[in-house]
Amino acid sequence: MNFQQDELTLQVAQTAKDFADKFIRPHVMEWDESQQFPLEVYKELGKLGMMGVLVPEAYGGAGLSYFEYNVILQEISKVCGSVGLSVAAHNSLCTGHILSFGNEEQKKKYLPKLATCEWLGAWGLTEANTGSDAGNMQLTAIKDGDEWILNGTKNWITHGKSGDVAVVICRTGTPRTKDNSTAFIVERGTPGFAGGKKENKLGMRASETAEMIFDNCRIPDSSRMGEVGEGFKHSMKVLDGGRISIAALSLGIAKGAYEAAVKYSKERYQFDQPIANFQGVSFKLADMATEIAAADLLIHQACDLKIKGLPMTKESAMAKYYASEIAVKVSTEAVQVFGGNGYSKDFPVEKFYRDSKLCTIGEGTSEVQKLVISREVLRP
């Protein structure tokens, strides 16, 4: 692995940082308090190529690598985890699924609109009673001539109401079998497809999370991705890459909390000196810096393997597991460094604290990551 970031990666990181400072930072708490989904921000990010980071230029994307994708997510999430989450979900899940498993006709139809964020993407796997148990999904797709009829509900879907197009995983076979599901592309406005309840969340409040409801929703067979029964297998591969994005999101939140804590510790005086001088505080900062560095290396390793096309299921799970857990730990310690002020919405770390927890749950809980890692470690 080459640990030196090249000029392109550095330029992309600076562009993302400048954008976040100018267009996101002034509105962070306003969006959080009101749960406003700032769609216009994603349209602007689309103009910069940051909503189609991994999409080849031939399909209207930026044609960048996972190294650039990693730094984009980190720089945005250092300012607002909600925006980082939506950027990750759009790029890795909906767009990433079509890029990896769509046919040429589907790629030409959808990728240019997704890459520029003319269309916002959603991806539906989770249901109310099938979180980690995704193989037991209840949303069905039944073949009727040259069409499929979809019935059921997906829950906890990023952009479930606002997404213009969704990749939806539907059961087409026996529950909990390896070939029980199939992926379909469904456009907003299709009869029988509607957004449902929007979740009122602890954190990530400016990232829309909602139900997607299918009531006798008819779609043509041309909307099917891959062969019948391949949906779950393909979803797991999509999640391998998606876990890198959640790891980068987590690391951005951790870095944002850490940088705020360092700055505050130098400015806050107690007993006639900055609290950074006290060992109790300085040792917290030392631990935070070390854990951030370790997470950075795990993510870099996963990105390197992904770019080279090598197996990276274990490494992406490790990166996601560790980075998400240290995001919670670092943001918790940042609140402690701020003391009473850390508990106030007038200071930034309480939001990092709230946002961080989702990272240990979304795209596979920490427990699921341990399951994935242990299976890979124990593989004959």
Mapping DSSP to helix (H, G, I), strand (E, B) and coil, where does residue 315 land? helix
Catalytic residue set: 363
The two three-digit tokens of residue 242, written as one number: 């998606």
Cα(139)–Cα(209) distance, integer angstroms:
18
In 3D space, the residue among 16, 13, 26, 17 whose CA is nearest the CA of residue 348 turns out to be 26
The two three-digit tokens of residue 110, written as one number: 């959808």
Mapping DSSP to helix (H, G, I), strand (E, B) and coil, where does residue 218 land? strand
Q: How many helices (H) and strands (E) does the chain have?
A: 12, 10
Give the CA-trace dihedral at 66, 361, 85, 11, to 10 degrees. Answer: -30
Sequence-distant contacts of 338-344: CB under 8 A, at least 24 apart:
338/260, 338/261, 338/264, 338/268, 339/268, 341/264
Tokens 């640990």 belong to 3
Please give the distance of CA 308 from its chain centroid, rounded to a whole number.
22
Cα(299)–Cα(9) distance, integer angstroms:
15
Cα(115)–Cα(133) distance, integer angstroms:
31
In 3D space, the residue among 304, 280, 242, 309 whose CA is nearest the CA of residue 97 turns out to be 242
Cα(292)–Cα(297) distance, integer angstroms:
9
**Residues 291, 329: contact at Cβ < 8 Å?**
yes
The two three-digit tokens of residue 208, written as one number: 């829309």
Cα(348)–Cα(79) distance, integer angstroms:
9
